[in-house]
């Protein structure tokens, strides 16, 4: 039996803590691809693509020998008694491309389904798919010569299941009021930090644990996620702070309804009832009514859900989904996310090759692989920075919101000579502008460090990569939550993720160009991506102009003595002077 929204609200801290842990272990674990790639090679996935020379001997970890092919020397390598080669890298990178594409592309249908039916069913489905993906990889590792193809299906299901858990956790911050952007950033930070999971598993693997046993235990842990969701997550979507204030507790036993209603519809109707009672109380003020609200004939109030459903459709549905899609803010956020996603995913997919190109040329191939393994482990550990740094952007997005004026409060007067405090909407846009400027500056810095051919400097690249990945998702999520209706949050985030994932598919031809015509040199690819990342400054520039425009309109409205008429969904206009 699924809990009610009220029960879920009482458990919100437990749900938030477990969601962070679950995101760390099960969401976007494919972001730690460089460590998984080494383990897959060690288990022999697609090793049959590598042609072993005759009369060659193998060592336990790695061995190299030279064979003659077409007049050119070709170095033959093995890892854990399995041959490894460039063709194997390309095939496994293609599997990573499919998985990372689904990690983002599936968010559009997920968002539409979640906005309509709530997060519970999607989270249950996601945890089940993740557990099954672990079992698929384990089954393929039993006979990699014949079952390597299963890695494509496993990574696809891994990406789908991980995104289901990530996406559903983004609705949980709705229960934390004005701290919603901070908690969204915390959820996204745990999602981005999940790249540390495979490096952690690699450490266990290097200590001697069997690869298949690790995956079976991991699948069992995913079943615990399924159980936690089944017990604690409600069927209804979490209403946004503008739809329901969870901190207000009122006894409604004296209210009569002619239909049985629950969930979001209930809270909408209760809000409308409160407004009507407030109006009635203001009208009866000269009669000095009793302080007991139920004694003011309220117990005779019987409302129709049909009547209320018509009247409570307010600001949330005032902006259509298509209008939100074609708004400048959303279109510019698409450009920013497409460029950033391509920049980040290309670096993750090609990291091992990039690091090999930066190692000392005098080292043997085996020594280069050992250096790359050390650096990939460092990269994995640094992913935990996302969990620490992402809430910083959330805090920036929530900056000074409690000091803002309520735009619906007509009694607020500004003191002479003092500028009026901004409304929450204007302050949120200002905060988003600062967040995107800071994030794009870090992205440019990351691009510069990638160009410099210095191996120790790549540790700084790791740090910047980690921070930018957490910041950009947190900033975009906070922007959508601030600007668009909460009922469209999932659909808009899904649309953005789908388009940016399609654009990020370019990382595969870029990788092929780097290992092919460019002979493993990533310089010109990094230069092109650095120039492309400059487009990310278009969004904060527009947000800056938009916030000033809204502030100017507000000042003109306050200074203009004419009457403004606000039409609501009913036939009665509200006139404000």
Chain segment 416-442, per-residue pLDDT in tens: 555 667 777 788 888 888 889 999 999
Segment among 3-17, 168-182, 406-420, 490-504 with least mean pLDDT? 406-420
Report the Cα 230 to chain-centroid distance in Å: 23
pLDDT of residue 418: 59
Mean pLDDT of the 401-407 span: 66
Distance separating alpha carbons of residues 508 and 94, to the nearest angstrom: 7
The whole-number pLDDT of residue 260 equals 39
Average pLDDT of 397-425? 64
The lowest-confidence range among 364-378, 510-524, 560-574 is: 560-574
Question: How far, in Å, CA of 311 to CA of 575, rounded?
Answer: 18
Tell me: pLDDT of 312 over 50: no
234: pLDDT confidence band, cut at 50, 70 and 90? confident
The backbone torsions φ and ψ at residue 410, rounded to the nearest 5 degrees and listed phi first, read: -85, -5
- Residue partners of 207: CB distance under 8 A and separation at least 6: none
Between these two residues, 488 and 573, which has the higher pLDDT value?
A: 488
Q: Residue 257: beta bridge partners? A: 303
567: CB partners within 8 A, 6+ apart: 573, 574
Predicted local confidence at residue 480, as pLDDT: 86
Q: 178 φ, ψ to 5°?
A: -70, -10
Question: Nearest to residue 498, comparing CAs of 356, 330, 381?
Answer: 330
The burial class, CB within 10 Å (0-12 / 13-18 / 19+), for 66 is exposed
- Residues 278, 379: Cα–Cα separation, whole Å: 57
Least confident of 80-89, 293-302, 330-339, 448-457: 293-302
What is the dihedral angle through the alpha carbons of 554, 558, 562, 563, rounded to the nearest 10 degrees?
A: 80
* Least confident range of 462-471, 554-563, 566-575: 566-575
At 510-547, the pLDDT tens digits run: 888 888 888 778 888 999 999 999 999 999 999 999 88
Is the model more confident about 535 or about 575? 535
Residue closest to 207 by CA, chosen among 377, 44, 369, 410: 377
The count of C-alpha atoms lying within 13 angstroms of the C-alpha of 527, restricted to the half-sphere facing its C-beta, is 7
| pLDDT greater at residue 264 or residue 121 | 121
Tens of pLDDT, residues 205-219:
989 899 999 999 999
- pLDDT over 60 (residue 577): no
pLDDT exceeds cutoff 50 at 114: yes
pLDDT at 411 over 60: no
pLDDT of residue 379 exceeding 80, the answer is yes
Distance CA(481)–CA(528), nearest Å, equals 32
pLDDT reading at 51 higher than 90: no
pLDDT band at 475 (very low <50, low <70, confident <90, very high): confident
Radius of gyration, CA atoms only, the chain: 28
571 has pLDDT over 50: no
pLDDT at 173 (0 to 100): 85
Rounded to whole angstroms, the Cα distance separating 51 from 67 reads: 10
The top-scoring range by mean pLDDT among 110-114, 371-375, 429-433, 434-438 is 434-438
CA neighbor of 224 nearest in space, from 236, 213, 232? 232
CA 490 to CA 107: how far, in whole Å?
8
In this prediction, residues 374-389 reach a mean pLDDT of: 82
Average pLDDT over the chain reads 76
The tens digit of pLDDT for each residue in 173-205 reads 888 876 777 787 788 888 878 888 888 898 899
Pick from 461, 467, 432: nearest CA to 445: 461
As a whole-number percent, the residues of the chain with pLDDT over 70 amount to: 73
Find the mean pLDDT for residues 95-110.
77
Q: How is residue 277 written in tokens? A: 């009672």
User: How many Cα neighbours within 13 Å face the side chain of 163?
Assistant: 26
């Amino acid at each position: 039996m699924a809990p009610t929204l009220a029960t879920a609200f009482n458990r919100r801290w437990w749900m938030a803590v477990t969601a962070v842990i679950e995101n760390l272990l099960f969401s976007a674990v494919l972001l730690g691809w460089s460590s998984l790639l080494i383990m897959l090679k060690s288990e022999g996935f697609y090793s049959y693509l590598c042609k072993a020379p005759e009369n060659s001997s193998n060592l336990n970890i790695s061995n190299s020998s030279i064979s003659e092919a077409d007049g050119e020397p070709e170095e033959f390598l093995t890892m854990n008694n399995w041959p490894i080669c460039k063709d194997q890298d390309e095939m496994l990178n293609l599997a990573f491309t499919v998985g990372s594409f689904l990690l983002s592309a599936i968010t559009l249908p997920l968002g539409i389904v979640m906005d309509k039916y709530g997060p519970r069913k999607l989270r249950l489905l996601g945890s089940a798919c993740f557990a099954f993906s672990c079992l698929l990889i384990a089954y393929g590792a039993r006979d990699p010569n014949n079952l390597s193809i299963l890695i494509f299906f496993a990574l696809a299901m891994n990406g789908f299941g991980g995104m289901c858990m990530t996406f559903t956790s983004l609705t949980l911050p709705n229960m934390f009021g004005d701290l919603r952007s901070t908690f969204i950033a915390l959820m996204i930070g745990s999602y981005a930090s999940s790249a540390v999971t495979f490096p952690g598993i690699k450490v266990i693997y290097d200590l001697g644990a069997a690869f298949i046993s690790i995956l079976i235990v991991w699948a069992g842990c995913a079943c615990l996620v399924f159980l936690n969701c089944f017990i604690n997550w409600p069927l209804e979507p979490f209403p946004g702070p503008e739809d329901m204030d969870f901190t207000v507790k009122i006894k409604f036993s004296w209210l009569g309804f002619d239909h049985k209603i629950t969930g979001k519809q209930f809270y909408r109707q209760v809000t409308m009832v409160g407004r009507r009672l407030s109006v009635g109380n203001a009208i009866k003020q000269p009669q000095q009514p009793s302080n007991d609200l139920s004694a003011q004939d309220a117990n005779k109030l019987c409302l129709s859900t049909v009547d209320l459903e018509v009247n409570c459709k307010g600001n949330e549905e005032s902006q259509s989904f298509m209008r939100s899609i074609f708004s400048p803010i959303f279109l510019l956020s698409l450009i920013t996310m497409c460029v950033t996603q391509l920049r980040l995913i290309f670096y993750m997919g090609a990291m091992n090759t990039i690091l090999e190109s930066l190692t000392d040329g005098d080292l043997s191939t085996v020594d280069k692989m050992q250096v790359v393994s050390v650096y990939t482990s460092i990269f994995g550990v640094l992913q935990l920075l996302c969990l620490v740094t992402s809430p910083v952007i959330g805090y920036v997005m929530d900056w000074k919101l409690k000091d803002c004026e309520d735009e619906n409060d007509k009694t607020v007067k500004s003191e002479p000579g003092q500028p009026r405090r901004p409304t929450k909407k204007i302050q949120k846009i200002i905060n988003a502008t600062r967040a995107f400027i800071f994030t794009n500056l870090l992205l440019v810095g990351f691009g510069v460090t990638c160009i410099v051919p210095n191996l120790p400097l790549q540790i700084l690249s790791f740090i910047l990569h980690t921070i930018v990945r957490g910041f950009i998702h947190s900033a975009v999520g906070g922007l959508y939550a601030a600007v668009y209706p909460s009922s469209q949050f999932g659909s808009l985030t899904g649309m953005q993720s789908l388009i940016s994932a399609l654009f990020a598919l370019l990382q595969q031809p870029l990788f092929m160009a780097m290992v092919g015509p460019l002979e493993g040199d990533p310089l010109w690819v990094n230069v092109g991506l650095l120039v492309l990342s400059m487009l990310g400054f278009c969004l904060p520039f527009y947000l800056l102009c938009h916030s000033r425009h809204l502030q100017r309109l507000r000042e003109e409205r306050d200074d203009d003595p004419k009457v403004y008429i606000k039409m609501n969904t009913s036939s009665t206009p509200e006139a404000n002077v």
